Copies of this chain bind each other. A is one copy, B any other.
């Protein structure tokens, strides 16, 4: 098993970051504008992009501290993997420790998703700090795979 790991720091409260991760409006503002579903624990959130999308079951939330999703539908490489956002405060920043764990193989698509997650996490940071993120389809293009 191999994992994608990232860390960003946001100069806003853990609560502002938590809201961006646990409400449909928040998620629409930094990851993709096409989001539907139930963002409560046990709910399923459907994220759509031009080439396809992901359905996430919300496995666990701890207010202002943790959001954990399981991918229940989407690309074969993603199904069954877990996406975890852990929030904490440090030196005036809200630190987000991000993990996308349980990949079967470190293939080229995983390399792509790692870089793409970094740019979406920077979109999350920008959203919470400035009010404007860069969700799909306005996201930064990193390669021929978008």
Residues of A within 8 A of B (CB): 2-9, 90-93, 95, 97-99, 106, 108, 110-112, 114-115, 118-119, 121-122, 125, 140, 142-145
Q: Chain B contacts of A4 at CB under 8 A?
A: 5, 114
Pair A7/B143 contact, Cβ less than 8 Å: yes
Pick from B6, B93, B110, B145: contact of A9, CB below 8 A.
B145
* 4 pairs of A and B residues whose beta carbons are closest in the complex: A9-B143, A118-B118, A7-B111, A6-B115
Pair B144/A9 contact, Cβ less than 8 Å: yes
- Copies of this chain assembled into the complex: 2
A interface, over-half SS: mixed
Q: Tell me, rounded to whole Å, the shortest Cβ–Cβ distance linking A123 to chain B.
A: 12
Q: Chain B contacts of A143 at CB under 8 A?
A: 7-9, 93, 95
Q: Chain B contacts of A140 at CB under 8 A?
A: 122
Which residue of chain B has its CB nearest to the CB of A93?
Answer: B144
CA gap between A57 and B93 in the complex, in Å? 35
Q: Chain B contacts of A111 at CB under 8 A?
A: 5-7, 97-99
